[in-house]
Structure 1
Amino acid sequence: MSAKAPKQIHLAAHFPGVNNTTVWSDPAAGSHIDFDSFVHFARTAERAKFDFLFLAEGLRLREQGGQIYDVDVVGRPDTFTVLAALAAVTERLGLTGTINSTFNEPYEVARQFASLDHLSEGRAAWNVVTSWDAFTGENFRRGGFLPREDRYTRAQEFLATANELFDSWERGAVVADAASGRFLRDGRAGAFAHHGRHFDIEGRFNVPRSPQGRPVVFQAGDSDEGREFAAASADAIFGRYGTLDAGREFYADVKRRLAAYGRTHVQLKILPAATFVLGDTDAEAHEAAYEVRRLQVSGQTAIKYLEHVWNRDLSAYDPDGPLPDVDPLPGENTIALGRASVRQFRDPLETARRWRALAEAKNLSIRELVISTTSEQTFIGSPATVADSIDALVQADAADGFILIPHITPGGLDGFADTVVPLLQERGVFRTDYEGTTLRDHLGLAVPGTEPARQSTASAPARTAASAPSPSPAPAP
């Protein structure tokens, strides 16, 4: 009896930004806004045969204590502009962009993604996110109007409406010389009408059906509502868990939900974010990882992070001194504005109690406490050790693959591409070349409205979860 074939690993690359992952002080660190940086990063990912490149996007620079965060990228180009430009300098790499469903309209977003899918010949993907804070909403006409509890209902209707637009052009609705844009075989092509709670629109969608039919849809929420939204509507979920027990619990939970929507396990990929530090030996890598964490969490960063919990101005405290003796202020976070305004800990008073006990027991300063309580890199070790870890987690149904976030831009992916990827290829768990032309091909996903495509072996049924999820990697101040 032949042995079961191993699952194939999916790998992608997240261009860093809007976080404290980047080590800005490293001499190798480059620009986060020059197009050359995006080109270098994308070409490295494509050289390594990754599935896609991922771009996050913030709709407003975050503030804390009335000042813009040091870790925010000022001047970051528009996501669609960057992805369209990268389509011209890459051939197979998928192009994934984060676009907000709260402060946009279905028609314009559908038109932009359908256009990107045409320009890239079928490599577009949309990470659907929501927003509810009034601070971000001040940049938009309907700023702050959406109650937090309504953000997913709007997102679900937004995505459903966009899909109606994508599907308004039937396959084959355009005659052979459609490039001229002059003739339609069917006068119904592009016609749509949607009358719902959030959107009441009708007309004609003016972009013909794109190579993938619809862009690949990603979802990044971890709440119960977010998991349900992903199970109902997404092709992949941008997960948070990079450890065995927490990853298997999340994997099993999300995959379990698919059946309620008539979907199978192969129709949703689970791809956690992952950081990494490589060294010639495991010991060397762990030494480097500790230094990276110290550079990522400066004294100022540690104070800003602590302010998220305390909801107070702590600028007078010494980051190399003890934790504040005052308690956190309960209620809505008012010191941080923007994405970071969400209270990251449900019980700040209990969090402060636990942290004080930990700091006292280990004699930790504020900075040392933040370093010790925020997640270290997901993968640390020699290339062989990192390859082993990635493969083990995927084969154990803790993930279908990983979205890698290097700490150096734009060259931080180079070492992984040159050393870890060849080892995964030797094991037969990662492609040596692209087998298809579209992102749906890379992910083993069918084109909507067609018979199921040949599915990747990366989606075996999830096994029983081993434990409850652990806290996610710490967000940056």
Structure 2
Amino acid sequence: MPVKPVHLAAHFPGVNNTTVWSDPASGSQIDFASFAHLARTAERGKFDFLFLAEGLRLRELKGRIHNLDVAGRPESLTVLSALSAVTARLGLAATVNSTFNEPYEVARRLATLDHLSEGRAAWNVVTSWDEFTGENFRRGGYLDEADRYGRAAEFLHTARELWDSWAPGDLVTDPGAGVFARPGSGAFAHRGRQFDIAGRFNVPRGPQGHPVIIQAGDSPQGREFAAADADVIFSRHGTLEDGRAFYKDVKSRLARYGRRRDELKIMPAVTYVLGDNEADAAERAAEIRRRQVGPQTAIAYLEGHWGRDLSAYDPDGPLPDVEPDLGEGVSQGRAQFRGDRGETVRRWRALAAERGLTIRELVIEATGRQTFVGTPASVADQIDTFVQTDAADGFVFVPHLTPGGLDDLVEHVVPLLQEKGVFRADYTGPTLRDHLGLQAPRTPRAARTPRKVS
């Protein structure tokens, strides 16, 4: 059986409790120097891409700005445009919301990034579910889940029509006349449930044709959306067995859309901790988790699920003895508090009782993601095992320190993966599609006639 290549990407930590703020090596999460350091490190390690998440509103807890979040984070596409000037091969992936934006403007900005970076742009297509975030936008904003994914699918298809309104060769350079567009270039018309637009797209087709499309989410709707339209799915699962089940399920959906298994890369979010030996690494990992989930973080997380002020409870004591308030709640803008909070609380009570967990220990358990812990050699082996046994195609590493959190991985683990022959020694092409082994999209002219969407 042929050896599968390992794909690696980096995530710049955002609105979460990943960063260990108390560490002396923890730096700014808004200064450009931090973004540049992480990007250059990822490129030195020959990573496929750097991924930026984005929140559209400062989250709140009990009616106040949630002071455990990053405030002042600059807009992702602007940051990536600047990073395109200080990197040469690294893919640049931005989260852009499909609920509160419009296809023409997003397609234009992404095509621009693809040109500026010479073919390294990617778009993580996300939706928003809450009125709280929607208050920042004219339309206000609640959409049912099915409608959100319906809008996202049409949004993406419309953006592709805009990109396809230019074909290779439509932009012509004439030494005597300068640069001009061929007749008909950029003409488009789209008629659908969500969008009814027609005109002329003013950015020529980018080096990749279409930016790489990423989808983040593990829900059934998210999996189907990824199978139909994404190039990469950014997922989350905690064990080798869960990874294999997710991989099998998502890959099995591709055939119904006429796609091959290798046309969608599955790349879960992961962390890593290295040590001189296995025991040292395990001890360091446990300490990092305790610092990530401090007392204030533990109580705040529980309050989001209980829907109550729990500040009187000891984070190192037992779970609250009160029942959750399943009304509006005390947390705004935090997607992980959706769903059946009552069922979540019941499940947590049973787990805490079974294992004797305190509030803080429970939150550490509940917020953990797959973490590779060990010596550089054992971490390289773990990464390779996941990929070779079809639990993933690669990983998006989320470091616990900014901006130097990838340094050890690139210096000590990547060379071992290269020695195994499962990771590139150097980039073999200029574009992100080259890094991921993805074919260029076709260049249809369908955008020039109206497209009906039911």
How high is the TM-score relative to the length of structure 1?
A: 0.90
How far apart are the structure 2 equivalents of 1:191 and 1:38?
A: 37
Distance in 1 (CA, whole Å) between partners of 2:346 and 2:76 is 41
Q: CA deviation at 1:176?
A: 2.8
In the alignment, the residues of structure 1 paired with residue 88 and residue 431 of structure 2 have an alpha-carbon distance, to the nearest angstrom, of: 10
Asked if 1:277 corresponds to 2:270, the answer is no
Residue 363 of structure 2: aligned partner: 370
1:343 match: 338
* Residue of structure 1 aligned with 2:222, choices 218, 221, 226: 226
Deviations 1:121-171 (A, max 9, x none): 000000000012110001100012433331000000000000000000012
The answer to whether the Cα contact below 8 Å between 2:173 and 2:180 also exists between their aligned partners in 1 is: no
Indicate the percent of aligned positions where both proteins have the same amino acid. Answer: 68
1:45-64 alignment, distance < 5 Å: 45-64=42-61
Deviation at 1:334, TM superposition (A): 2.4
- Report SS of the residue matched to 1:183: strand
CA contact (8 A) 1:114 1:215 kept: yes
The question of 1:247 aligning with 2:236 is answered: no
TM-aligned CA deviation for residue 354 of structure 1: 4.0
**Residue identity matched to 2:48:** D
Instruction: Indicate yes or no: 2:153 matched with 1:160.
Output: no
The letter for the 2-side match of 1:203 is G
Q: Which residue of 2 aligns with 1:474?
A: none
Partner of 1:473: none
Question: What are the equivalent positions in structure 2 for 1:32-181 lying under 5 Å apart?
Answer: 32-177=29-174
**Contact 1:62/1:340 (<8 A) preserved:** no
1:441 alignment counterpart: 434
Which residue does the alignment assign to 2:421? Answer: 428
Given the alignment of the two structures, is residue 407 of structure 1 paired with residue 400 of structure 2, yes or no? yes
Give the SS at the match of 1:412. Answer: coil
Following superposition, the deviation at residue 82 of structure 1 comes to 0.4
Structure 1 residue 318 displacement after superposition: 1.8
Residue 12 (str. 1) matches residue 12 (str. 2): no
- Equivalent residue letter for 1:82: V
Which deviates more, 234-243 or 118-127? 234-243
Task: Confirm or deny that 1:327 pairs with 2:320.
Answer: no
Contact kept, 8 Å, 2:238 with 2:369, in 1: the verdict is no
Distance 1:178 1:65 in 2: 64
CA distance in structure 2 between the aligned counterparts of 1:377 and 1:180, rounded to whole angstroms: 57
Code of the residue aligned with 2:164 in structure 1: it is D
Q: Using the alignment, how far apart are the partners of 2:177 and 2:373 within structure 1?
A: 53
In the other structure, the counterpart of 2:451 is none
1:322 CA drift (Å): 2.0
Q: Is the 8 A contact 1:221 1:227 kept in 2?
A: yes
Please state whether the residue corresponding to 1:275 is helix, strand or coil. strand
Residue 452 of structure 2: aligned partner: none
Q: What secondary structure, in the 3-state scheme, does the structure 1 residue paired with 2:180 have?
A: coil
Give a deviation string over 1:451-477, Cα, whole Å, max 9, x none: 9xxxxxxxxxxxxxxxxxxxxxxxxxx
Across the aligned residues of Structure 1 and Structure 2, the Cα RMSD in angstroms comes to 1.8
Equivalent in the alignment of 1:204:
200
Distance 1:417 1:286 in 2: 20
- 8 Å CA contact 2:173, 2:179 repeated in 1: no
Q: What is the rounded CA distance, in whole Å, between the counterparts of 2:66 and 2:9 in structure 1?
A: 27
Q: 1:195 to 1:171 in 2, by over 3 A?
A: same
| Residues 334-370 of structure 1: CA deviation (Å, up to 9, x unaligned) | 21111337425x3x44443443344345443211222
SS of aligned partner of 1:368? helix
Q: Is the 8 A contact 2:28 2:34 kept in 1?
A: yes
Encode CA deviations 1:11-69: one digit per residue, 9 max, x unaligned: 00000111001000000000000111011100000000000000000000111111222
* Structure 2 partner of 1:352: 345
| Gaps in structure 1 of 5+ consecutive residues | 452-477
1:293–1:376 Cα contact (<8 Å) kept: no
| Structure 2 counterpart of 1:159, one-letter code | L
Residue 450 (structure 1) shift = 6.9
Cα distance change of structure 1 residues 108 and 261 upon mapping to structure 2, 3 Å threshold: same
Distance 1:243 1:320, change over 3 A: closer
User: Structure 1's 209 and 356: CA in aligned 2 closer, same or farther, altered over 3 A?
Assistant: closer
Q: Which amino acid aligns with 1:428?
A: G
Q: CA separation in 2, counterparts of 1:340 and 1:324?
A: 22
CA distance in 2, matches of 1:371, 1:27: 22
With 66-75 and 123-132 compared, the bigger mean Cα shift is at 66-75
Relative to structure 1, the CA distance from residue 289 to residue 377 in structure 2 (aligned partners, 3 Å threshold; closer, same or farther) is: farther
Q: Which residue number in structure 2 is paired with residue 300 of structure 1?
A: 296
**1:418 aligns to what?**
411
Q: Is the 8 A contact 1:308 1:343 kept in 2?
A: no
Q: CA separation in 1, counterparts of 2:343 and 2:170?
A: 60
CA distance in structure 2 between the partners assigned to 1:153 and 1:178 by the alignment: 46
- Range with greater deviation from structure 2 (63-72 or 149-158): 63-72
* Alpha-carbon distance change, 55 to 181 in structure 1, aligned in 2, over 3 angstroms: farther
1:172 Cα deviation (Å)? 1.2
Corresponding position: 1:382 with 2:379: no
2:345 partner letter: A
TM-superposition CA deviations, 1:304-336 (whole Å, max 9, x none): 1111221111112121222111111235x4211
SS state at 1:99 partner: strand
Unmatched runs of 5 consecutive residues or more in structure 2: 445-454
The CA deviation string for residues 223-252 of structure 1, in whole angstroms up to 9 with x for no partner, is 111111111111110011242111111111
Q: Is the 8 A contact 1:55 1:97 kept in 2?
A: yes
Q: How many residues are aligned here?
A: 444
SS at 1:219 equivalent: strand
> Quick check: 1:289–1:377 contact (8 Å CA) kept in 2?
no
Distance in structure 1 (CA, Å) of the matches to 2:408 and 2:226: 33
| 8 Å Cα contact 1:242-1:272 kept in structure 2 | no
* 2:180 corresponding residue in structure 1: 183
Distance 1:381 1:180 in 2: 62
